[in-house]
Structure 1
Amino acid sequence: MLQFTYKLKLTERVKAKCSRHPRYNPVKDGRAGIRGGCSTCFSLYDLHQARIALDAAQREFVRRAGPWARQREPRKRKAADATEEPPLHP
């Protein structure tokens, strides 16, 4: 039986533009919008594709693991009741 804890939190922001083609947008233009074989534009496109692949892999993992995932019970906290008095020290 395979058992492991999975927690993923990604907070990455990439703001990048090609200096030669500042209007290139990999989301809208895709691979066909790359002009002149620009390596920076190809890198932007590859970065966009990697992000799409990572999101798809995470959704697929959650979909497949969902039926077997169990919710953890909350930790039991030590509750000090108001009716209890602390012990007196002589």
Structure 2
Amino acid sequence: MDMDLDSALRRLAEQPLHPRLAELEGDVMRLIAAEQRAGSGVTLRAGMLAAVGAVALGVVGGGLSSAAAPAQMPTLTPFGPAAPLAPSTLLALQ
């Protein structure tokens, strides 16, 4: 099928517009507004539920991880005040 795009577009431009085309924008805007009114309560409730669930999950997860942690063992820090294996403390013992 050999079709010249320019001539096809020219024929399309010469055709009269559909009568409902002028009302299309208003119809779309009315549908969008109706959808926003209908869904605003649901969206807000879902967002609040997600926020409360996230906070609860964080609190429970934080509580479980701190409860499952073993008793704090002394750490060996080279510059900290309590360094029992530091060379200066080992030399002082001899």
TM-score of the superposed pair, with normalisation by structure 1: 0.35
Hey, which of these two has a bigger chunk of helix by percent? 2
Pick 1 or 2: higher relative contact order, CA cutoff 8 A, min separation 6. 1
Larger Rg: 2
TM-score of the superposed pair, with normalisation by structure 2: 0.34
